[in-house]
Chains A and B, each alone.
Chain A
């Protein structure tokens, strides 16, 4: 472990792993925490489970095209719960405010939180506020936690992924990361790319209703789609095949990525769910997804193939095939 915390300890790559495994787990490790899933699932009784998750939000800027830190703080936690197959039940909200934050901005953030709660039928049921001196935080940091219930014995977990499963995503990737980048002081380029920031709990319950064969779900945030796929392949020791021409990327997003030398597969999303489901149900799942406003552009992007080493392969538009490497560093800090 390094002597000093660097930004790279927060990038979701190797150093984040070192921080968690070599330091945090040394003091805090236990059976439930060790799964390192988006939410932890605890048994309440034989047919009811509780999902519990927490997330902090330090995004810069706090207002960005397609959202703001308030909306993000609810969506992030709701999506972590949804990805474990839970129905979100309640949210906690803790605000760390920097002296000097205009109350008008805080109100705007709260109103956005309210709107997102209403959309998902949730309430904040506990909370906290702290104020720190100017320079001791950056405008506003938010922590949310959420609980949800899995009460129908419908277990969704990477362990259920099977050979032949279809892999579905609910729309174009990489918009969140680029929307944030486009508004950073250091790179103020002109684009109308908007963050995909969205609560996906209703989309998840729509597909659970239509199919009993949803095997696993993952919210493709930091590290992007590639990181989620690599993680799933490695956990299941099954190879994954994806097809470049089927992976949705908006033309504008692609253009900026090429210009900046970034790979959209590794750029953060805040409203993208990657779904692993039995292939025979793929069509009806897609149909149900397309009826939801956050699923209109859903597509099948690949499949789980036979037993392998747990690698992800991209079949390119040139007709070639190459390995997709596990994400190794996020160039851009404070995207969420």
Chain B
């Protein structure tokens, strides 16, 4: 084993809080990295890592998924989406099902491709499914700024962007969830910096460490969290300082708030959370696909037995869901946490099952 890893592991074991600590890894990328590296096996049982609501596909509300599917069913539109969305089951079908029936659903890696397509095909109505947290919101903002400048009339976004720090406050206020500290996502802070988390340490006295994604980054961050916790000195520390600066990337933040403003947002399994979403400002509302393409949304029904809501809030581990690895597998997912490549259930299924 790497010497530094050995040292961190020993330090974590030596300093483990006797009464235990619940540390929430907010982000799906962290969940994946923890499961894939088997990092949990190195930790004493007093240190309980729980997954948070930081997988964008997982927290997208059912009615949003149904609306997106409705658009492609009812309108002759071309839909661009990131890959994970394509398999999420809606109430009546999925984008994958619609694509196999001939609807124009395209997977893109860069949102710019959708705008480029709209430019080249002015006769087609193009919808980009804008999803994600502060990491992807600046890209959507730049896209819309560009579309507005060029006055592109056949381009729309279906907006589901959400914010991380205010959602954490709501988790802290929820009596059912017992989070003592947060392992915060490094890429979100590459944009917003560390300051938006200050209130968590100051008001709720919960340690926060902004972490990179290598197993060694995560171990180091856990060591830092435990130190804060043991010394009762909660603060926001940046472990991922090779990328994250306290002020983040002000130009990207500015781009976000030129186009968006905070609005209430519906999180799947969690519910409507005040001011945790990004809504389009009025001058950009002409790009709003939800308004431009109204559809009758079927009454959403969560699949019976699916515990994604509790998994997203960290109340249950994927293993605690009766459907996990039985009726619900990555090949036949029932809930969104099993579909997304960053979902907790997918991470546990893929990397933490026993033989």
Contact = CB atoms under 8 A, between A and B. Distances in A.
A316 B331 CA distance: 25
B83 A323 contact: no
B55 to A, nearest CB: 11
Contact of B108 (A13, A186, A317): A186
B100 A320 contact: no
Contact of B2 (A15, A186, A317, A322): A317
A263 B341 CA distance: 11
Given A261-B342, A317-B215, A322 B352 contact: yes
A325 B330 CA distance: 11
B38 interface: yes
Nearest to B350: A325
A14 B332 CA distance: 9
B326 to A, nearest CB: 15
Given A7-B100, A186-B108, A318-B1, A323 B354 contact: yes
B39 interface: yes
A187 B110 contact: yes
Interface string B24-68: 000001001001111101100000000000000000000000000
B349 interface: yes
A320 B331 contact: no
Contacts of B36: 263, 322
A135 interface: no
- Majority-rule SS of A interface residues: loop
Interface string B93-128: 000110111000011111001000000000000000
Contacts of B315: none
Contacts of B35: 322
A133 interface: no
Nearest to A260: B109
Nearest to B346: A328
Interface string B1-39: 110010000000000000000000000010010011111
A13 B39 contact: no
Nearest to A308: B355
B213 interface: yes
B351 interface: yes
B353 interface: yes
B113 A186 contact: yes
B100 A316 contact: no
Interface string B323-339: 00000011110000000
A261 B107 CA distance: 15
Interface in A245-271: 258, 260-261, 263
Contacts of A258: 213
Interface in B304-345: 329-332, 341-342
A6 interface: yes
A14 B29 CA distance: 25
A14 B215 contact: no
A319 B42 contact: yes
Nearest to B94: A6
A145 to B, nearest CB: 29
Given A186-B107, A186-B109, A258-B213, A323 B353 contact: yes
A10 B35 CA distance: 28
Contacts of B354: 323
Contacts of A308: 355
A258 B37 CA distance: 13
Contacts of B341: 261
A185 B37 CA distance: 32
A4 B102 CA distance: 11
A5 B108 contact: no
B100 A6 contact: yes
A186 B106 contact: yes
Contacts of B2: 317-318
A319 B42 CA distance: 8
A155 B349 CA distance: 37
Given A318-B1, A319-B42, A321-B38, 10 more contacts: A4-B101, A6-B96, A7-B96, A8-B96, A14-B331, A186-B110, A187-B108, A320-B37, A323-B351, A325-B351
Interface of A: 4-8, 13-15, 185-187, 239, 258, 260-261, 263, 308-309, 311, 313, 316-323, 325, 328-329, 331
17 contacts: A6-B97, A7-B99, A14-B331, A185-B113, A186-B107, A187-B108, A261-B342, A316-B37, A316-B38, A318-B5, A319-B1, A319-B5, A320-B37, A323-B353, A325-B349, A329-B331, A331-B83
